[in-house]
Structure 1
């Protein structure tokens, strides 16, 4: 609905104005039938003019409301641009997959820090759903360089505070790549006799550092993790 108003607000307002003006000035049969019952024959059209005047106020109010929605959208876009220029834009994450020769998948999570404040990567996990992807980090790289981390057998998604520096004006956006081996458990989203496909939402728990430490979670969608032949985990 929000996207519809952002795209068609002006045209919706114009169409409403034309329709209401047409009904008021030309009229449908119910309009013609209503006016004589509401207005006396001696007013010489004064009652009808009051109807049109009142209706124009409602049309103006509707147009103002839709205009406010469009202005609010523009303000949000301007605020996003200001946040980006000041280094207050939020970090982002996306996921890619690579098929292994022996079967299975390698998943790479790429985190970009658009914010001027440094951040740390703490742990990665599957966000939920009817299927579940288990992530086993094999390498973490910060700006293309290896970042040492400890592999925890009992908690394989733990990274242990791999730091990404804050963004600086005129320099490349700092980023991290987390390369993971994977297994998938649970009910597949698509399945036949020899084929199964999973859709997963992956998450990365992070901290951002300023005068205080702020915790947040980044998510990324990964679709069509397929296995053929498929065996239950």
Structure 2
């Protein structure tokens, strides 16, 4: 029978042995007491008092960290209720067929949870220097707006406005379908040979404007993986 010590015991065994040896050296060895407690009459009481001070400091720092997290969460909830929440973005890898050809793509969803209108202006970032994204179409309120000649040109403009969120109403969203281009040419795939596909990390960044009297430019970004 093969006996194996659990990993959680092994992880703490080394530090426990070191602490035990150190404690025995200080308490049980005259040389250790002279080294650590040379000017102290009650060594143990002095060290306990010092450690209690450090424990109190650690407890105070932990309390501050917990309070900061609670305040941040409270602010996020308040912003959500007041309509000041930041817009959201997420992306998923996909593929579509056109004229018996298959094309890898990225579907980017933008949700405006802010009370102010959001203008999604243009797309940046991609997979690497050679593989980049180009806008194929934008879907909003059930209508699809296609880019001009997406097979021939890589378009990065979006130019879609999402209305601000109203109380009791669903937040407006749009879905941006992006082709993948290699060296500025649209990239297609062989759907019959999935086993040879590779997985790539990608990053997506959208330049947007929160409209209003104090309009400001914001960047929405997300990351993920796509296979093709």
TM-score (normalizing by structure 2): 0.69
Contact 2:207 2:220 in 1 (8 A): yes
Within the candidate set 12, 24, 42, 1:29 is matched to 24
Could you tell me which residue of structure 2 aligns to residue 203 of structure 1? Answer: 205
Residue 72 of structure 1 deviates from its aligned partner by 1.6
How many pairs were matched up? 192
Within the candidate set 205, 214, 217, 1:215 is matched to 217
Q: Please, what is the CA RMSD of the aligned residues?
A: 3.3
Contact 1:93 1:220 in 2 (8 A): yes
Aligned-partner SS, 1:51: helix
Aligned-partner SS, 2:102: coil
- Which stretches in structure 1 are left out of the alignment for 5+ residues? 1-18, 187-192, 227-233
Aligned-partner SS, 1:66: helix
Cα distance in 1, alignment partners of residues 121 and 115 from structure 2: 19
Summarize deviations over 1:105-124 as a string: whole Å, max 9, x none: 24321100011111101111
- Which stretches in structure 2 are left out of the alignment for 5+ residues? 1-15, 185-194
Cα distance in 1, alignment partners of residues 198 and 24 from structure 2: 61
What are the residue-to-residue correspondences of 1:143-222 with 2, within 5 Å? 143-146=141-144, 156-159=155-158, 161-185=159-183, 195-222=197-224
Contact 2:125 2:203 in 1 (8 A): yes
Cα distance in 2, alignment partners of residues 164 and 200 from structure 1: 25
Residue 158 of structure 1 deviates from its aligned partner by 1.2
1:135 aligns with 2:130: no
Aligned-partner SS, 1:136: strand
Cα distance in 2, alignment partners of residues 149 and 104 from structure 1: 16
Query: Which of structure 1's runs of 4+ aligned residues deviate more than 4 A?
Result: 146-155
Cα distance in 2, alignment partners of residues 127 and 103 from structure 1: 20
Residue 74 of structure 1 deviates from its aligned partner by 1.8
Contact 1:207 1:213 in 2 (8 A): yes
Structure 1 residues 147 and 224: alpha-carbon distance in aligned structure 2, compared to 1, 3 A threshold: closer
